[in-house]
């Protein structure tokens, strides 16, 4: 297959949702279609146990929260699909935001009973800012939920999307009869008794066909006719370009648990979802079709396999072909590196691969060379943009609880920060270490991982801070800047890159500081 054929058959996307909407279940069902996991096991257990496939970490199995973002690849109808799974829990939102820099499109899962939830709103905001194409999957139709039209309204209003239903439910919950697939003009009937079977659609080009009354009953047939008529009147007609430009969002209904509506989603997805897209760097726009390799690290995961203490940097290939045992430039370190065992991910298996193409995710064994955001090229000096750190919202001093293990603690903290689990700040005044996170849960994760992966123990001390602001560097001779540094020295620290930050204890403090020192520019993300 030629380079362009390989590129065009790739679809790299993320599934996002509020926790419990059914992201893991949908991922697993998609993997079933791709033959990447064994259907027999899934049927026997009714559903695959949480943690069996898309979640690697022990801690997650304990908590039942998708903590780590995992990568899964499979082939379906000749298309190579790369799914980047994302943690739904808000405390791991930064991990999800970073993953969104590596996807070309997303599928958002919404629970029909709960509607649009808080976490979905935040994530969709980021997708809209980046104009990422979005498909909506409304899940759990086998349960009672909100009226389909009300839900479509809610999605438009709360998420700011312009929806275009490509399937529509017939009934819901106890009365759920199936789905009319507007995209393929087919009727798919739900058989609650034979869960997990993939129903074959019945062609139904014209819903006026009286056969419909016989199949689903007169009442349901009349309702469906009225509803589809309304859909054609009220919602825009599907247009692939609008979808690809992030201006129109197709909607599907179904039940991931019952494997209903998932195939329709997937069949449409491979047809319309974008292949690998160009990406902006600090010097130019890099096209996926370029022959020379470029790629960037969007995730680092240490100790994925507890049996082998390994650390993997996940690289998204932006252009060119990634080849095993070939020298590439690590731009930040200005260092040539080659990789003898790059990994690709197939469900729960990792495999060494000789070549990877744009859109693919490669896992590189790392001994501490990589940080999130690092770029690999064939020699060109460019850095991909768009993986900034956001200000954490929770802050604590971290102290060593076992003096004999201070080296292990330092190493553990260092590696966890490179993975982007949290951010570390060193106070200018006394060198104390402050950990900042976006959620309180992360402190527990850090403590747990330091102990289980590095044999180190830590304690925390509360620190009442509101946010950190990155201070734009200036000539220290500038009088106002010098005064700011002197007056605020107790609140100044360095982040892991050595950038100066200001720890503010309230929104008011930030406001006051800005008005008192107008020439000192404060930023709310690390990339400015
Ligand atoms: P998440 O990754 O988005 O957090 O959600 P997950 O897939 O883990 O699903 C959350 C819960 O919703 C699970 O139940 C799952 O079985 C259920 N679920 C997913 N899809 C459907 C669906 O289409 N219909 C119905 N009725 N339920 C669905 P749980 O009880 O939390 O987990 P488990 O005990 O079954 O593992």
Angle between helices 406-418 and 441-454 (to 10 degrees): 130
CA of 239 to the centre of ligand 1 (A): 32
Q: Nearest C-alpha to atom 17 of ligand 1 is from which residue?
A: 22
Q: How far apart are CA 324 and CA 353, in angstroms?
A: 7
Residue-range domains of the chain with CATH = 12-272 (3.40.50.300), 279-377 (2.40.30.10), 394-523 (3.30.70.3280)
The answer to whether the predicted template modeling score (pTM) of the entire model surpasses 0.85 is no
Measured in Å, residue 22 CA sits from the centre of ligand 1 at 5
CA 185 from chain centre, in angstroms, equals 32
What pLDDT score does 192 carry? 60
Q: Whose CA is nearest to atom 19 of ligand 1?
A: 22
Q: Are 338 and 378 in contact (CB under 8 A)?
A: no
| Spatial distance between the Cα atoms of 386 and 282, rounded to a whole number of angstroms | 10
**What's the gap in Å between 197 CA and the centre of ligand 1?**
18
Cα 285 to ligand 1 centre (Å): 40
Q: Which atom of ligand 1 is nearest to the CA of 143?
A: 26
- Using an 8 Å Cβ cutoff, are 445 and 416 in contact? no
- Cα 476 to middle of ligand 1, angstroms: 56
Ligand 1 atom index nearest CA of 27:
7
CA of 25 to the centre of ligand 1 (A): 6
CB atoms inside a 10 Å sphere around CB 13: 23
Q: Which of 17, 18, 19, 25 to mutate to test the pocket of ligand 1 (most atoms within 8 A of CB)?
A: 25
Using the mean position of ligand 1's atoms as its centre, give its distance from the Cα of residue 89 in Å.
15
Distance 50 CA to ligand 1 centre (A): 9
Instruction: Give the distance (Å) from ligand 1 centre to CA of residue 139.
Output: 10
Q: What is the pLDDT along the chain (528 residues), one digit of tens a residue?
A: 899 999 999 999 999 988 889 988 898 888 888 776 655 334 233 333 444 444 445 554 444 444 444 688 888 999 999 998 777 666 667 778 888 899 999 999 999 999 999 888 888 988 888 899 999 999 999 999 999 999 999 999 999 999 999 999 998 888 888 888 888 888 888 776 655 555 556 767 778 888 888 888 888 889 999 999 999 999 999 999 999 999 999 999 999 988 888 988 999 999 999 999 999 999 999 999 999 999 999 988 765 555 566 678 899 999 999 999 999 999 999 999 999 999 887 665 678 889 999 999 999 988 888 988 899 999 999 999 767 677 888 999 999 999 999 999 999 998 888 888 889 999 999 999 999 988 787 888 889 889 888 899 999 999 999 999 999 988 888 899 999 999 999 999 999 889 999 999 999 999 999 999 999 999 987 766
For residue 26, the ligand 1 atom closest to its alpha carbon is 7
CA dihedral 364, 345, 268, 97 (to 10 degrees): -50
Which of 61, 255, 257, 258 is the best mutation target for the ligand 1 pocket, counting ligand atoms within 8 Å of the beta carbon and taking the most?
A: 257
CA separation for the pair 60, 92 (Å, rounded): 12
Instruction: Give the position, in ligand 1's atom list, of the atom nearest the Cα of 50.
Output: 36
Contacts of 25 (CB under 8 A, 6+ apart): 47, 139, 256, 257
Separation between Cα atoms, residue 463 and residue 226, nearest integer Å: 59
Q: Report the distance separating Cα 380 and Cα 334, nearest Å.
A: 10
Query: Residue 305 C-alpha to ligand 1 middle, in angstroms?
Result: 26
Ligand 1, atom 15, residue with closest C-alpha: 22
Ligand 1 site-directed mutation target among 22, 49, 107, most atoms within 8 Å of CB: 22
14, 20, 252: residue to mutate for ligand 1 pocket, most atoms within 8 A of CB: 20
Determine contact, residues 176/169, Cβ cutoff 8 Å. yes
pLDDT at 55: 42
| Ligand 1 pocket at CB < 6 A | 17, 19-25, 47, 50, 66, 88, 139-140, 142-143, 255-258
Among protein residues, the one with the nearest Cα to ligand 1's atom 6 is 22
DSSP strands (E only) in 418-517: 423-427, 433-437, 458-462, 467-471, 492-494, 500-504
pLDDT at 200: 59
Query: For residues 137 and 117, what is the distance between their CA atoms, to the nearest angstrom?
Result: 14
Q: Are 361 and 322 in contact (CB under 8 A)?
A: no
Residue of minimum CA distance from atom 28 in ligand 1: 257
**DSSP 3-state assignment of 145?**
coil
**Rounded Cα gap, residues 501 and 493, in angstroms:** 5
* Centre of ligand 1 from the C-alpha of residue 441, in Å: 22
Backbone angles phi, psi at 149, to 5 degrees: -70, -40
Residue nearest to atom 35 of ligand 1 (CA): 47
| Closest protein CA for atom 30 of ligand 1 | 20
Query: Residue of the nearest CA to atom 25 in ligand 1?
Result: 140
Give nearest CA residue, ligand 1 atom 16.
257
Residues in a beta bridge with 313: 300, 364
Q: Whose CA is nearest to atom 32 of ligand 1?
A: 50
- Nearest-atom number in ligand 1 for the CA of 260 is 23
- SS3 annotation, 365-434: ECCCCCCCCCEEECCCCCCECCCCCECCCEEEEEEECCHHHHHHHHHHHHHHHHCCCCEEEEECCCCCEE
Cα of 21 vs centre of ligand 1, distance in Å, is 7
Kindly report the protein residue whose alpha carbon is nearest to atom 22 of ligand 1.
140
Give distance in angstroms: CA of 337 to centre of ligand 1: 43
Alpha-carbon gap, residue 469 to 509, rounded angstroms: 11
Q: Which atom of ligand 1 is nearest to the CA of 254?
A: 23
């Amino acid at each position: 297959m030629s380079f362009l054929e390989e590129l065009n058959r790739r679809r790299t996307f993320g599934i996002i949702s509020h926790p419990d909407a059914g992201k893991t279940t949908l991922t697993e069902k998609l993997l079933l279609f791709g033959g990447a996991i064994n259907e027999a096991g899934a049927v026997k257990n009714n559903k695959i146990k949480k943690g069996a496939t898309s979640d690697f970490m022990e801690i997650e199995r304990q908590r039942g929260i998708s903590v780590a973002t995992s990568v899964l690849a499979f082939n379906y109808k000749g298309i190579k699909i790369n799914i980047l799974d994302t943690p739904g829990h808000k405390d791991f939102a930064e991990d999800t935001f970073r993953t969104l820099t590596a996807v070309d499109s997303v599928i958002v899962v919404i629970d029909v009973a709960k509607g649009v939830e808080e976490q979905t709103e935040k994530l969709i905001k980021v997708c809209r800012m980046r104009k990422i194409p979005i498909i909506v999957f409304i899940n759990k139709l086998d349960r009672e939920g909100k009226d389909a039209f009300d839900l479509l309204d809610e999605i438009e209003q709360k998420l700011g999307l312009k929806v275009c239903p490509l399937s529509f439910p017939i009934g819901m919950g106890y009365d759920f009869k199936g789905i009319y697939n507007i995209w393929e003009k087919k009727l798919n009937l739900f058989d609650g008794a034979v869960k997990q079977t993939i129903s074959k659609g019945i062609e139904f080009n014209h819903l006026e066909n009286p056969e419909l009354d016989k199949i689903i009953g007169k009442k349901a047939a009349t309702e469906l006719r009225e509803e589809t008529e309304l859909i054609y009147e009220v919602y825009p007609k599907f247009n692939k370009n609008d979808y690809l430009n992030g201006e129109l969002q197709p909607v599907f209904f179904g039940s991931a648990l019952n494997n209903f509506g998932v195939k329709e989603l997937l069949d449409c997805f491979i047809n319309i979802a974008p292949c690998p897209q160009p990406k902006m760097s600090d010097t130019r726009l890099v096209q996926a079709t370029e022959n020379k390799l470029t790629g960037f690290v969007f995730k680092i995961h240490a100790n994925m396999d507890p049996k082998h203490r390994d650390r993997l940097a996940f690289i998204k290939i932006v252009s060119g072909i990634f080849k095993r045992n070939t020298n590439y430039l690590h731009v930040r370190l200005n260092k040539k590196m080659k990789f003898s065992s790059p990994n690709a991910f197939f469900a729960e298996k990792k495999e060494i691969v000789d070549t990877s193409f744009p859109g693919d995710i490669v896992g590189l064994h790392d001994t501490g060379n990589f940080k999130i955001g690092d770029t690999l090229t064939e020699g060109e000096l460019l850095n991909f943009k768009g993986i900034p750190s956001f200000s954490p919202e929770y802050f604590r001093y971290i102290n060593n609880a076992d003096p004999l293990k201070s080296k292990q603690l330092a190493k553990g903290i260092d590696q966890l920060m490179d993975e982007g689990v949290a951010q570390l700040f060193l106070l200018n005044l006394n060198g104390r270490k402050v950990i900042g996170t976006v959620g309180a849960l992360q402190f527990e994760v850090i403590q747990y991982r330091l102990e289980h992966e590095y044999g180190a123990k830590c304690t925390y001390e509360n620190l009442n801070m509101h946010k950190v602001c990155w201070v734009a560097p200036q000539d220290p001779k500038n009088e106002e800047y010098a005064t700011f540094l002197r007056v605020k020295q107790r609140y100044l620290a360095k982040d892991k890159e050595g950038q100066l930050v200001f720890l503010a204890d309230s929104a008011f403090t930030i406001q006051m500081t800005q008005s008192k020192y107008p020439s000192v520019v404060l930023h709310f993300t690390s990339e400015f």
